Each structure stands twice: as C-alpha cells, then as structure tokens.
Amino acid sequence: MRVAVVGGGIIGLAIGRELLRRNADVTVYDPAPAGTGGAWHVAAGMLAPGGESAFEFPFLEPLLAASNELWPAFADELGDVGYDDAGTLSVALTADDLAEARREWAHQKLTTLTGSQARDLEPALSPRVRAGAFAPTERQVDPRKVVAALRRALNGRIVRRNISNLSEMEGRVIVAAGCGTATLTGLPIRLVKGQILRLRGEPGLLKHVVDGAADGRHVYLVPRADGEVVVGATQEERSDRAITAGGVHDLLRAALDLVPGLSEHEIAEWTVGHRPGTPDNAPIIGALNDRVIVAAGHHRNGVLLAPITARLVADLVLTGAADPLIDAFTPGRFGCA
Ligand code: GLY
C-alpha cells in the first residue's frame, strides 16, 4: 500500500518507520528533512507518564502508560538513543511547593520521602530541599538521537517538499505536521512556547532526572551521560521565538536552588520551540475523513507518545482497525471529522 506522511518530526518519522517495517510503500514529506525546526529538537526527552498525566484529560493516562511500556523495545531497535531508566526524583523546596507536589504524588501513588531520603538518592540536591518522591518507571532518551536514528531507518524515503494543501496528495495521507497541522486540516492546534537551556559540566553530578519546584518555579533537570544537563522548560501561551530574561532567570534560579552544584556548569545552549497544543492538551489521533488520518497535537508528550502513536496509526492505515485506546483522541471530539 502507498502511504504519504506529511511531517518529518518525531511523530511523522516514527509512523513512517512503523509502516515501512510492515512493508508499506511509505514516503515522508517535510520542507526541511535534515532540519532542526521540530518540537523534538527542543524536547528534553523525559518519558514521564506519571509526571505528565496528573489532573490532565483522564484518558491520556492509559495512552502515556502504554507508550512507556513500548519504549524499551523501541529504543533497543533504534540503537544508541541515550535511553536511561534510572527513574525520576520529584522534589519540593518550600512548604508551598510541597503542598502542591503532595497532590501530584498522591495521584501518582508515590511515597513521600523526607529531604534527607531524597538526598540519599541524589546527593547533589540542596540541603534546603524539603521532600521528594521517586518514580522508578520513568525514563529518558535523547530526542535528537532518536530523530537521527529514525531518519536513518527511513533512508531514501524522506522527501523535501512543503505540502501546503492536502489536495496536492493522492491516496492515503497521514498528517503529522505538529503545529503546521492546523493550517492543513483546520484542527484547533495552537503553539505553546517553551524555552530550554542546556548546561555542560563534569558527568555524574545528577544520577536521575530531577523534576520539581522551587519557590513556585517549576523545572526539570535531565542529566545525560556526557555531562550535559537539560534544564526545562517554560510553558507560555505565545507564538514568538524570543528567549527572554525572565524565562532564563526562572529556569536557572529554580535549577540552582534545587542543585547548587550546577552553578559551575557552562551554559552550552539556549533554545526556544513550540509544543503543538490542543484545547484539551491531549493528542489528535484518528481519521479526519476516508483518506486522511491525523496524528498531531502531542503537546508535552511527543517523545513519550511516538511509539504508541506509530503503532496505532499503522494499525488504522493498514487494517482499518481502530484500537479502543484512540477512541478518546479522534479529531471528531473537536467537531472536525
Ligand atoms: N515534556 C516536557 C515539556 O514539554 O516541557
């Protein structure tokens, strides 16, 4: 079967690879096939089904959990993508931070640790950290390595072309164009700005992903094996690409309040990107009409949801079977199918 995928970000590439594995004649179209414009380039790569599901659209939780289960094998097949399953330590600095965190930890059924128990797990934490909770099933990957591996897997099947109208395309079409999906389909996908920093220092300062709040400033710290620490991310309902003094200040202030040893790290990169958000901030996965399937709007969870999205969309295209898991995510919930 011939299938066109519009969009060469992490979702479009994962779908393309899955279709290729199942012997479909797939082509992925992207205006910049080797580019760095996608949300994946900015993403830290936390695979955090618990941390990202709290109090969200409730149907999201089983989808996040199902994709998290697929990640170990998906990473294994792709090769070195920085997969690390050390887990996430969530922490709170002040009494107010702890009051907010307790609700999330209870929702995730995590045990609250004292500050010193949290420091036993992660000695670089500030002595001011009041409490923590450890999520052992959360993981991380390096999204830039994931995309490079997916591009290699699709060698020769990624074509440079800017699709501006779906009527240009023949046959089955999958639209996985992130924020660009809105203009192609009319679906309500908005840009949610995120500023993010990459610090660089001696490897080993942090052993886990650290996710937390310091005086109301939320931050996550994602340590890579080579000494990079990704510090993310602002979440702003804006479409501009400005890197702002306030955004960088808040990220660094929270990072250094929680892990003072990061002050010796070099600032290696500051970047801005946009998450594709929907009205309920859950993805859109399903048929728009007889010919077009949409897989977009993954907001904060594009990296985590790539394997399950690829599997569900490939099932839909090749067998016509819609897994009940996607019932809650169809374009029809916004009156668009
Ligand atoms: N998944 C984390 C973020 O979007 O910032």
Computed over every residue of the chain, the mean pLDDT equals 95
Ligand 1 neighbour 46 (Cβ under 6 A) = yes
More confident residue, 59 or 246: 246
How far apart are the C-alpha atoms of 242 and 165, rounded to whole Å? 29
Ligand 1 neighbour 75 (Cβ under 6 A) = no
Confidence at 54, pLDDT banded by 50, 70, 90: low
Among residues 277, 300, 315, the one where a domain terminates is 277
Query: Could you tell me the two tokens for 164?
Result: 């501006």
Residues 149 and 15 both lie in one domain: yes
- Asked whether the predicted pLDDT for residue 168 surpasses 80, the reply is yes
Mutation probe of ligand 1 site: the residue of 10, 11, 46 with most atoms within 8 A of C-beta: 46
Residues with Cβ within 8 Å of residue 249, at least 6 apart in sequence = none
How far apart are the C-alpha atoms of 82 and 143, rounded to whole Å? 8
Which residue from 202, 200, 218 is spatially nearest to 210, judged by alpha carbons?
A: 218
Map tokens 């479009």 to a residue.
12
CATH of residue 123: 3.30.9.10
**Residue-number span of the structural domain to which 57 is assigned:** 2-80+141-189+278-334
Residues 204 and 64 both lie in one domain: no
Which residue from 138, 259, 279, 146 is spatially nearest to 204, judged by alpha carbons?
A: 259
- Asked whether the predicted pLDDT for residue 32 surpasses 80, the reply is yes
Torsion over CA: 210, 114, 256, 94 (sign):
positive
* Residue nearest ligand 1's atom 2 by CA: 300
pLDDT for res 154: 98
Number of domains in the chain: 2
Which residue(s) pair with 229 in the sheet? 199, 223
Residues 181 and 294 both lie in one domain: yes
Map tokens 């309500």 to a residue.
188
Residues 232 and 289 both lie in one domain: no
- Asked whether the predicted pLDDT for residue 336 surpasses 70, the reply is no
Which residue(s) pair with 51 in the sheet? none
- Asked whether the predicted pLDDT for residue 69 surpasses 80, the reply is yes
Q: Phi and psi dihedrals of 25, rounded to 5? A: -90, 85
- Asked whether the predicted pLDDT for residue 335 surpasses 90, the reply is no
Pairing of strands 172-175, 292-296: parallel
Residues 56 and 160 both lie in one domain: yes
Q: How far is CA 274 from CA 144, 186, 299, 300, 302, in A?
A: 16, 18, 9, 10, 12
pLDDT for res 324: 92
Q: What is the Å distance from ligand 1's center to 42 Cα?
A: 9
Q: What is the mean pLDDT of residues 34-61?
A: 87
Residues 195 and 98 both lie in one domain: yes
How far apart are the C-alpha atoms of 118 and 276, rounded to whole Å? 34
Among residues 236, 254, 277, the one where a domain terminates is 277
pLDDT for res 52: 77
Query: Could you tell me the two tokens for 288?
Result: 């728009």
Residues 21 and 36 both lie in one domain: yes
Ligand 1 neighbour 275 (Cβ under 6 A) = yes
Convert the pLDDT of each residue in 209-244 to its tens digit: 999 999 999 999 999 999 999 999 999 999 999 999
Among residues 257, 277, 297, the one where a domain terminates is 277
pLDDT for res 270: 96
pLDDT for res 321: 86
CATH of residue 321: 3.50.50.60
Q: What is the mean pLDDT of residues 152-170?
A: 95
Residues 74 and 106 both lie in one domain: no
Residues 244 and 329 both lie in one domain: no
Residues 161 and 254 both lie in one domain: no
Residues 243 and 101 both lie in one domain: yes
Burial letters for 263-286: b for 16+ Cβ neighbours within 10 Å, e otherwise? eebeeeeebbbbbbbbebbbbbbb
Query: Helices (DSSP H) in 79-212: which residue ranges?
Result: 95-107, 115-121, 143-153, 181-185
Q: What is the mean pLDDT of residues 296-321?
A: 96
Burial letters for 101-126: b for 16+ Cβ neighbours within 10 Å, e otherwise? beebbeebebebbebeebbebbebbb
pLDDT for res 105: 95
Residues 259 and 215 both lie in one domain: yes
Confidence at 50, pLDDT banded by 50, 70, 90: confident
